[in-house]
Amino acid sequence: MNEAAASPNPEAPRGVRSHARGYLGFLRMAAGRVTRGSPGFWIWTVGLLVVVWFGVDAWAKQVEQGMGVTGMTDHVSWGLYIANFTFLVGLAAGGVMMVIPAYLYRDKDLHETVILGELLAIAAIVMCLLFVVVDLGRPDRALHLVPWIGEFHFPSSLMSWDVIALNGYLLLNAHVCGYLLYKRYRGETPGRGWYLPLVVVGIAWAISIHTVTAFIYCGLGGRPFWNTALMAPRFLTSAFVAGPAFIILILQIARRFGGLTHGEGSIRTLTGILRVTIWINLVMLGSEVFTALYTGGSHAATTHYLYFGHDGKEALVPWMWTSLGAMLLGALILFLPRVDRRRGWLDLACVLVFGGVWIEKGMGLIVPGFVPSALHEWVEYVPTPAEWKITWGIWAGGLLLYTLMLKVALPVMTGQLRQKP
């Protein structure tokens, strides 16, 4: 390693330039590390790459032939892409449920595992940005979104707020993760001034990314299904369901394959959080459904369509009942005391609530905002194979990024990977 020669004693005071060199060396080491691994690692990454390939292939064709290859129409003008975008903003924000106890309340165990949540935020935001790009009719004009180069419509357009929120959150997390891992790698104690203020900003920022994303939808008066003040709170609670559920699963995988020694306490804390947030989420959902169905009238048309269909149009009905069933079952399982002892039950509950929220926020929230359309026409939306390919391609790409980041981060955090003195 080059930087080792530059500074034989890591405790010695160092200039900014040598730190910059050192950080580059750290990144080089990381790049080298992710191109080596066990057969299992290769099967997993090459498998993901194949899925990514199908996504890239489908997206290139979508750009060439036009967005007509998707199942979207002028009636349902946002579909699977924006649905996944919305869900993934939540997943990115959900990691904050680890950050708060880890840094504000000095939870020892979470302090060792919180990097998983922060890296998840990075991967999720990258996926979000990709989902926005593939949804654009003119990706070649994406530069028009860049302040000063294009015409950035800030602060009027909530989309411009989201551009700032998402990219800012990406930078915050990239800095905090990079800094902490670099310091660990060098065997140095991180200087609190270098990351703690950003962590605190990051907590507020995590709330803001999902609030702003909710405001994109709930600020539209012409879409009664979205035009509810409960949208942002619902987004946050569902984020605090999906995030912890995903991380509980990842923690177990990291303990099994990544040599992570901590995590028991983290899983307990996150399970406790999940127990509460899933019920808040269900209560909010119930409240929305009651308000719509009891009042009736044209504003309830969408809710009725979601759960019971409309005149034989029932594309979303199975999705919605699956989602509701999964979330309820998961919530009930989480109540059982045995989930603390038997990981199988916990894992089942996590998968159920994660899948339930994915449906609820995707197909169950973005798509029905357009059904019926603004002139009350009933046009359903069913994603085409091209959309599924692109969607799974982006998910695979995100998982690949997350895997590679964890492959460097886990040994650094457990102390297996240290710069040679």
Show contacts with another protein in window 113-172 (CB under 8 A). 132, 135-142, 144-145, 147-148, 150-160, 163-164
240 versus 370: smaller Cβ distance to another protein:
370
Task: Decide if residue 220 touches another protein (CB under 8 A).
Answer: yes
For residues 69 and 79, the answer to whether their CB atoms sit within 8 Å is no
What residue type is 93 in one-letter code? A
What is the nearest approach in angstroms of another protein to the Cβ of residue 335?
38
Q: Name which of residues 323 to 352 contact another protein (CB under 8 A).
A: none
For residues 51 and 392, the answer to whether their CB atoms sit within 8 Å is yes
What is the nearest approach in angstroms of another protein to the Cβ of residue 242?
23
44 versus 279: smaller Cβ distance to another protein:
44
Q: Which two tokens stand for residue 281?
A: 């989420």
48 versus 326: smaller Cβ distance to another protein:
48
What residue type is 410 in one-letter code? L
For residues 62 and 69, the answer to whether their CB atoms sit within 8 Å is yes
With b for 16 or more beta-carbon neighbours within 10 A and e for fewer, the 376-410 pattern comes to eeeebbebbebbebbbbbbbbbbbbbbbbbbbbbb
What is the nearest approach in angstroms of another protein to the Cβ of residue 304?
12
Residue 71 belongs to what H/E stretch? none
Q: Name which of residues 76 to 115 contact another protein (CB under 8 A).
A: 76-78
Task: Decide if residue 392 touches another protein (CB under 8 A).
Answer: no
What is the nearest approach in angstroms of another protein to the Cβ of residue 90?
19
**Residue 133 Cα distances to 191, 212, 221, 260, 281, angstroms:** 37, 18, 26, 35, 30
Task: Decide if residue 178 touches another protein (CB under 8 A).
Answer: no
Per rule CB under 8 A, count of chain residues that contact another protein: 91
242 versus 390: smaller Cβ distance to another protein:
390
What is the nearest approach in angstroms of another protein to the Cβ of residue 74?
5
Q: Which of 4, 18, 21, 73 binds another protein (CB under 8 A)?
A: 73
**What's phi and psi for 314, nearest 5 deg?**
-135, 25
286 versus 421: smaller Cβ distance to another protein:
421
Interatomic CA distance for residues 220 and 239, integer angstroms: 22
Q: Name which of residues 8 to 47 contact another protein (CB under 8 A).
A: 13, 33, 35-38, 46
Strand partners, 310: 313
**What's phi and psi for 23, nearest 5 deg?**
-65, -40
Q: Which of 2, 65, 261, 295 binds another protein (CB under 8 A)?
A: 65
The DSSP annotation for 281-337 comes to HHHHHHHHHHHHHHH-SGGGHHHHHHHH-BTTB-TTHHHHHHHHHHHHHHHHHHHSG
Interatomic CA distance for residues 278 and 178, integer angstroms: 32
What is the nearest approach in angstroms of another protein to the Cβ of residue 249?
26
What is the nearest approach in angstroms of another protein to the Cβ of residue 367?
10
**What's phi and psi for 153, nearest 5 deg?**
-85, 70
What is the nearest approach in angstroms of another protein to the Cβ of residue 157?
4
66 versus 286: smaller Cβ distance to another protein:
66
Task: Decide if residue 57 touches another protein (CB under 8 A).
Answer: yes
Task: Decide if residue 207 touches another protein (CB under 8 A).
Answer: no
